[in-house]
Structure 1
Amino acid sequence: MLQSGLAHAEIRSELAHTTFETTLQNGLKVIIREDHRSPMVMTQIWYRVGSSDESGSLLGISHVLEHMMFKGTNKVPNDEFTRLSRIYGGSINAATFTNYTNYYQLYPKNYFPMALELEADRMTNLLLRQQDFEPEIKVVMEERRLRTDDNPRVLAFERFKWIAYPTSTYRQPVIGYMKNLQHIQLEDVKKWYRDWYTPNNAILTIVGDVDSQSALLQVQKYFGDIPARKIPPRNNVSEFDHVGYRHMELNLPVQVPNLFMAWNVRSLVTAPNPQDAYALTIIRSILDSGISSRLQDRLVRDKKILTALSVSYDPYSRGDSLFSISALPVDGISLQEAEKSVQAEIDLLKTELIQHAEIERVTTKFVSNLVYNQDDIAGQSRMIGNLEINGLSYRLMDQLPKYFETVTPQDIQRVANLYFNRENMSTLYLTPTPKSKAP
């Protein structure tokens, strides 16, 4: 019998895994998936706060707090959290994104209760001290320099997002700007921690060699008495449709010109018809999923217009998304010519129905990769958390293959015409900094 602190729960058996879901009285959502193939347990906690929730002079503060979360509590001081993981054969890490901040611990199953105890302790008892903050904010600044300021392509895309997302806070960089990092104070971090790090703003996922009922009792033991707190409202991450064509040109110290193209599209959360998101995902694979995909085959291998390209789309975002393409033209091919060639391939999706053989081949490969990537406990935990934190259900992960397989040639054509138009489009031409002429 479950303790009284637990709300209604449900156990389901899917793909040979038992998955258990419940919510504690303090609002902490708990999802446990049993996987007994190896004696390991992955524990992840996902907080509903990320860079899109920031504003004003505090851009980057979610990432700063992520760093500070490893600086200890009275119970586990200084670097003891990291030292314990080494002693007991564990692996720990964390990441900040637009929609969330998550922390994971992977341990042999005997030490799974310790992982819960450590995570619950720093949810409420984190020591935020000036002596830790001063060197750590410098670490974050250096990370900004290395990953963004000294990487022209990353810096260019960071700036490009301000026209690609004209209204959504998704345009804000996860790491913040240097001017923000220079002005964030310890008191700001303390307030961010109090505002957002509370059980009613978190999801705990546990995947591995555990018994659901026993694991849940451990969760209740360590997290059940942490009180819920009121959390601030989140920023709106919807985006305007058909806001108008936007274009940017930048000169930065790149070796070769770079082309960026992006269209404002819907996600699985925001699309009035979920089939749009499934179709957009398959379109991404049609265009770029190996040497036989359309852009790789036609523009890189055959016509030799591009030397490299990448297509991206996130169907699981809690807000509206981008469908983006980045490409490097062959020497002698202008950015305008490269854009025209990519656009011609996009337009074919609007005017010509894709053959059933092509869509079946692409979908089969995509679904196979989707299933394969969830084969280990880390992949399952990532997918469960990513779906839940973005306002979807973990139950979707076992249904996704059949949904993607329902995408038809007609869906591809309809969605291409719906989203891939100039009024939804942004472009960036990134060219090498002109060499200064000798006097």
Structure 2
Amino acid sequence: MHLSIFSFTCLIFCTSAYANPQPKLTHTTLEAKLDNGLKVIIREDRRSPMVMTQIWYTVGSRDESGNLSGISHVLEHMMFKGTSKVPNDEFTRLSRLYGGSVNAATFTNYTNYYQLYQKDFLALALELEADRMSNLVLRQQDFDTEVKVVMEERLQRIDDNPRALAFERFKWVAYPTSHYRQPVIGYMKNLKALDLEHLKKWYQDWYTPNNAILVIVGDVETKTTLELVKRYFAKIPAKQTPERNDVLEFSHVGYRQLEVRLPVQVPHLYLAWNVHSLATAPNLQDAYTLVIMKNILDSGITSRLHNNLVRKQKIATSVSVSYDSYSRGDNLFSISALPVNGVPLQDIEKALLSEIEQLKNTPVTSDEINRVITRHVADLIYSQDDIAGQARSIGTLEVNGLSHRILDQLPQHYAAVTPEDIQRVANTYFNRDNSSSMYILPEQEK
């Protein structure tokens, strides 16, 4: 077993001094890897007598072939249906009996499960989690029920939601090759074609300790907790996992444009550029700069896009920007906008592209960049104020191939972003031959 212990410092910043942050809280964090490959990260936070356990499996929709679309999400549902030791719905019943809270989520790169208990019931959480890692009972009657539940989710979230359905289609244009184009919830035709044997193989292939990260945050003692983890998980054997699908993307392949007509009342515009993440950027400063650029454009009513398009020009009712720097693969920097009634989408697109050109050609002022960095660093710190936020931050980084240790370095990296970085990154990525757009228009009258 490989083991290292270090102290994590949660940095609280004065808004006037980024270069010399002052530590406010110190949490002892232990990082270990069991002989079967399970990575374990335990952090002490004794502000309340609670403990959060999260297990992150490095498998999600990006690992699915077209025929198995949605299988990771279906298996997430089945993980609550019981083992030979804890049958039927006893997992959920036990959590309620002992005052716990449990849930799960599936994403492109991972499937994760959490349990929140008073600290006295940590052993229960670990025993339950270890049990279903290797002893899940997959029954036809449970599968028949849960796959229908997922189909209903698909109907409500995607098929009956025109904008979500349009964005699902848009990803096939925005991601020419990456498996990130695939929907997490799956396509209806593939959900209908799934069977129990598919699910059993998916579980056997991917649910193994060497493909998992266990994160524990709360009122615990790190070394004692590690011994408890070893008691329940150490005997689970490692297994060879399949090769993962590629999530690197081509850039500058040419402009792509999609127009869809759906039952919407108001048109909608999407713009996207193919960009790198922290895991894929040859220059890590590019990813940190993209985060700050996202916040310059969209971080409240004083940000550029809201101030210029919504308040001053009055051509949009809302504008939002999205970018995920933690992604394991290449990602999108995307902007969506809803026009004021009667304003053509072409006018909105022209105004948005003008804002992008401004980033390329005119340096951001020191006051603006400092204000944006201050706000983003504050949001970053507040997001880790509770044990759930800390566990989520740690797990998200680790499952995407990044070290959770960069958490206490992020404020310095963001503070180092300069106006010159913003111009350089804007000119590198925000070009027409590296972009896609989508117009969502109301259906024409028949």
* Rounded Cα–Cα distance in structure 1 between residues aligned with 2:414 and 2:163: 32
Task: Please state if 1:262 is matched with 2:257.
Answer: no
Q: Deviations over 1:112-142 (max 9, x none)?
A: 1100000000000000000110011100000
Deviation at 1:401, TM superposition (A): 1.1
How many residues in Structure 1 have an aligned counterpart in Structure 2? 431
Aligned residue for 1:181?
191
* 1:87 CA displacement: 1.0
Correspondence 1:20-419 to 2 at 5 A: 20-419=30-429
Q: Which amino acid aligns with 1:106?
A: L
Tell me the residue number matched to 1:3: none
Structure 2 residues not aligned, in runs of 5+? 11-25
In the alignment, is residue 8 of structure 1 matched against residue 3 of structure 2? yes
- The SS at the match of 1:44 is strand
Residue 13 of structure 1 deviates from its aligned partner by 4.1
* Structure 1 CA distance for aligned equivalents of residues 156 and 395 of structure 2: 29
**Contact between 2:54 and 2:214, CA under 8 Å: does it hold in 1?**
yes
Identity %: 67
Counterpart code for 1:132: D
Q: 3-state DSSP class of the match of 1:251?
A: strand
Structure 1 runs (4+) greater than 6 angstroms displaced? none
Q: Which amino acid aligns with 1:312?
A: S
Matches of 2:251 and 2:274 in 1, distance apart? 7
- TM-score, reference length from structure 2: 0.96
Structure 1 position 236, deviation (Å): 0.6
C-alpha contact (below 8 Å) 2:339/2:345 kept by paired residues: yes
Q: Deviation string for 1:350-403 (max 9, x for gaps)?
A: 000000000000110011001001110000000000000001001011111111
- Structure 1 residues 287-316: Cα deviation after superposition (integer angstroms, max 9, x where no partner): 000000000000001100110111000001
SS of the equivalent of 1:250 reads strand
How far residue 12 of structure 1 moved from its aligned partner, in angstroms, is 2.6
* 1:162-189 deviations in Å (ceiling 9; x for gaps): 0000000000000010000000000000
Question: Which segment drifts farther, 78-87 or 218-227?
Answer: 78-87
**Counterpart amino acid of 1:62?**
S
The whole-number CA distance in structure 2 between the counterparts of 1:13 and 1:316 is 20
Do the aligned partners of 2:101 and 2:117 also contact (CA within 8 Å) in 1? yes
- 1:161 is displaced (CA, Å) by 0.1
Amino acid in structure 2 at the alignment position of 1:186: L
Q: Give CA-to-partner distance per residue, 1:253-303, whole Å, 9 cap, x none.
A: 011000000000000110111000000000000000000000000000110
User: Which consecutive residues of structure 1, in runs of 5 or more, have no partner in the other structure?
Assistant: 1-5
Q: Output the CA distance in 2 between the equivalents of 1:8 and 1:361.
A: 40
Q: Aligned pair 1:424/2:434, yes or no?
A: yes
Corresponding residue number in structure 2 for 1:433 = 443
CA distance in 2, matches of 1:90, 1:147: 28
User: One-letter code of the match for 2:354?
Assistant: A
TM-score, length of structure 1 as denominator length: 0.97
Q: 3-state DSSP class of the match of 1:227?
A: coil
SS in 2 for 1:191: helix
Deviation at 1:332, TM superposition (A): 1.5
**Secondary structure, aligned partner of 2:3:** coil
What is the CA–CA distance in structure 2 between the aligned matches of 1:201 and 1:68, rounded to whole Å? Answer: 19
> Which whole-Å CA distance do the structure 2 matches of 1:294 and 1:212 have between them?
45
Q: Partners in 2 of 1:379 and 1:406 — Cα distance?
A: 25
Secondary structure of 1:9's counterpart equals strand
Q: Helix, strand or coil: the match of 1:110?
A: helix
AA matched with 1:9: S
Partner of 2:2: helix, strand, or coil? coil
CA RMSD of aligned residues (A): 0.7
Residues 89-124 of structure 1, C-alpha deviation per residue, up to 9 Å, x if partnerless?
A: 111000000000000000000001100000000000
